[in-house]
Every structure is written in structure tokens, then in C-alpha cells.
């Protein structure tokens, strides 16, 4: 349950957004074309699920053609697996695959109705992307971010140099999908101060159309999922570096003691050690609370290039 103060803050933010925004946003039924920026694991997963569950064409954008090729290869693998397990037919797989198109130019997003940015957690990169999207996309297009820690209000503010002009910033929202996207049902909907209620409603409805279960969060460091999850993972790493427990024992006690599918160290490998560090830094810097100080070992592993499953080595070898 929300506390009275927290509930009041949410209501105030919603009222401010409604009063600031006068721009029409696209309705869910009118989301006929999705754009996804970033062909990594998250972006590819979002694009594939949108094509498969929502049945909409998706334009996948990445400046690195190699990343696009790798992502499409992974999509083909996932679809082939679904066919082999008789979850879908080959004709259905071919139809889903035909809905995915790729490009290295963000200008190709000029005709989409909804765009989701899924690039690494680098604030300057996200701000630059949203500044460009405000110029490229149509006046009704919803501009969503998959950020797991960066302020939505700050991202929305990057769409204009005039704070009184909310024509673009009112259409900015976070749709934070859980990893891996094709499997996990949860998605966080986070609003900035500028976000309009119409934008929120459409984002929630479209995520449901993708087969997801939305939860709403205020624009606070780490939001809900990572505000809870990352200190848990970070504390597990501190237990490892200080000798409280060994890797296998740490993961085993959490799996067998709390019934989670994988332990915190293995989960960190799947999320990405660099992503874990980036989120902990945001939590620490934005709250100023020492309880969010990143583990020393976490930083050392990033320095060593041991980023988890994606690099072949993390707390485990892959």
C-alpha cells in the first residue's frame, strides 16, 4: 500500500502533467507501428514480443550493423525453438519474422506511433536520443524508455530547451521491461513530472497488448524493481568479497531458502555486471545514501571486462 504522502506525490505529479500537456497522443488502437532503439538483448526481446503478441510491425534501430545481425540471429533461434516445441506453427513464425525490419538510421522512426529506447544506461546517450526523437517523430508519437534507473523527468526534459513547451516531454514515459523479455511478464510504467495521463494510459494498454503485466512506479532512483533488487545483488557480492560465503553457497541458500529461480550472483551475470554497477552508481549518487555504495568487487569485475554471460565470464564461466 502507498503511504498517504507517497500517494499525494503521485496525484500531484499526475495533475501537473495533465495541466502542462495539451498535445494529443496516440490511442492504443492506433499503435500500428512500433520503433525500438537498440538491438541488444533487451531491445530485440521487446521487438520480438511486440511482433508476436501485439502483431504490429516493428522497426529495430541500431547504429551497429553487427548488433542488428546478432539480434536477428537470436530472434530466428527463439522462433525456431517455439516451432520445435509446437508453441507456434512455422507459418506463424514466418509471419512474426516478417514484421521485423531493421535500420541503422533513427530517421526511419518518423512514421512510428510508439517508440521504445533500449540502449545502455548512459544518461548522456539517452538524453541525446530523446532530443533527436522529439525532432524526428510525429507529434502524437509516444516516446518510451526502457531505462532501469535514470530519471524520467530528466529524460523528458531533454526533448526541449524550453521548459514551458511540453509538446514532446508530455509524451515521454518509461516502459521498463524485465529480462528476458520473452519470458518475464512484468513491466514497470514510470512517469516523469511532465508525462500526461493519456501517455500513461496508452503505455499501460499497449504493454498489456504485448502480454505483459504493468506495475506503476513514481520517478524515484531505481524505481521499484531495481530499488529492491540491486541492493540485494550488491549485498551478495559484498558477502563474497568479504568472505562471508562462497559463490555457490551464496546462490544456493537464496535459491533453496527463498525459492527464487537463480541466486543473486548468477542473476547479476545474466543482467550484466556493468549494468549492475551503473544502476548502483545512480542509486548511490542520487540518494546520497551509503547503503547504496557499489561493491568494490563489482567495480573491479567491470574493469577486468568480466561482465557476465554476455562476455563469457562473470561470477561464473559461460
Residue 138 annotated in ligand binding: no
Q: How far is CA 302 from the centre of its chain?
A: 21
Please identify which of the residues 13, 146, 149, 188 carries the catalytic annotation. Answer: 188
Residue 305 annotated in ligand binding: no
DSSP 131-180: HHHHHHS-TT-EEEE--SSS-HHHHHHTT-S-TT--TTGGGEEEEEEPSS
Cα gap 179→157, rounded to integer Å:
27
Active site residue 140: no
Please identify which of the residues 146, 226, 234, 295 carries the catalytic annotation. Answer: 226
Outline where DSSP puts E strands in 51-99: 58-61
Residue 42 annotated in ligand binding: yes
- Helix H or strand E encompassing 207: helix 197-209
Please identify which of the residues 67, 148, 151, 196 carries the catalytic annotation. Answer: 148
Cα gap 52→39, rounded to integer Å:
17
DSSP 8-class letter at 182: T
Residue 235 annotated in ligand binding: no
Residue 43 annotated in ligand binding: yes
Residue 38 annotated in ligand binding: yes
Beta partners for residue 147, in sequence order: none
Please identify which of the residues 21, 67, 158, 176 carries the catalytic annotation. Answer: 176
Active site residue 176: yes
Residue 41 annotated in ligand binding: yes
Residue 301 annotated in ligand binding: no
Residue 62 annotated in ligand binding: yes
> Known binding site: residues?
38-43, 62, 121, 126, 148, 179, 310
Residues tagged active-site: 148, 176, 188, 226
> Known binding site for NAD(+): residues?
38-43, 62, 121, 126, 148, 179, 310
Amino acid at each position: 500500500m502507498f503511504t498517504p504522502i507517497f500517494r499525494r506525490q503521485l496525484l500531484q505529479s499526475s495533475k501537473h502533467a495533465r495541466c502542462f500537456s495539451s498535445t494529443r497522443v496516440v490511442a492504443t488502437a492506433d499503435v500500428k507501428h512500433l520503433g525500438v532503439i537498440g538491438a541488444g538483448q533487451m531491445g530485440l526481446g521487446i521487438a520480438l514480443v511486440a511482433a508476436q503478441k501485439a502483431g504490429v510491425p516493428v522497426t529495430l534501430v541500431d547504429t551497429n550493423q553487427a548488433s542488428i545481425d546478432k539480434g536477428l540471429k537470436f530472434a530466428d533461434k527463439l522462433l525456431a525453438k517455439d516451432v520445435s516445441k509446437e508453441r507456434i506453427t512455422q507459418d506463424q513464425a514466418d509471419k512474426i519474422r516478417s514484421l521485423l525490419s531493421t535500420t541503422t538510421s533513427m530517421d526511419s522512426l518518423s512514421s512510428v506511433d510508439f517508440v521504445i529506447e533500449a540502449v545502455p544506461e548512459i544518461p548522456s546517450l539517452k538524453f541525446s536520443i530523446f532530443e533527436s526523437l522529439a525532432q524526428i517523430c510525429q507529434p502524437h508519437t509516444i516516446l518510451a524508455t526502457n531505462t532501469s534507473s535514470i530519471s524520467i523527468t530528466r529524460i523528458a526534459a531533454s526533448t526541449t530547451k524550453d521548459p514551458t513547451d511540453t509538446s514532446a516531454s508530455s509524451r515521454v514515459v518509461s516502459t521498463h521491461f524485465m529480462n528476458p523479455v520473452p519470458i518475464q511478464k512484468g513491466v514497470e510504467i514510470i512517469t516523469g513530472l511532465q508525462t500526461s495521463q493519456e501517455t500513461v494510459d496508452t503505455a499501460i494498454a499497449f504493454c498489456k497488448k504485448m502480454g505483459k503485466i504493468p506495475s506503476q512506479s513514481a520517478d524515484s532512483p531505481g524505481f521499484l524493481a531495481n530499488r529492491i533488487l540491486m541492493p540485494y545483488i550488491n549485498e551478495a557480492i559484498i558477502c563474497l568479497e568479504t568472505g562471508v560465503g562462497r559463490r555457490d553457497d551464496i546462490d544456493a541458500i537464496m535459491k533453496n531458502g527463498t525459492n527464487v529461480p537463480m541466486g543473486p550472483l548468477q542473476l547479476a551475470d545474466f543482467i550484466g555486471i556493468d549494468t549492475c554497477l551503473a544502476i548502483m552508481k545512480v542509486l548511490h549518487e542520487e540518494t546520497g545514501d551509503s547503503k547504496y555504495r557499489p561493491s568494490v568487487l563489482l567495480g573491479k569485475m567491470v574493469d577486468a571486462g568480466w561482465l557476465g554471460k554476455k562476455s563469457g565470464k562473470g561470477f561464473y564461466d559461460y
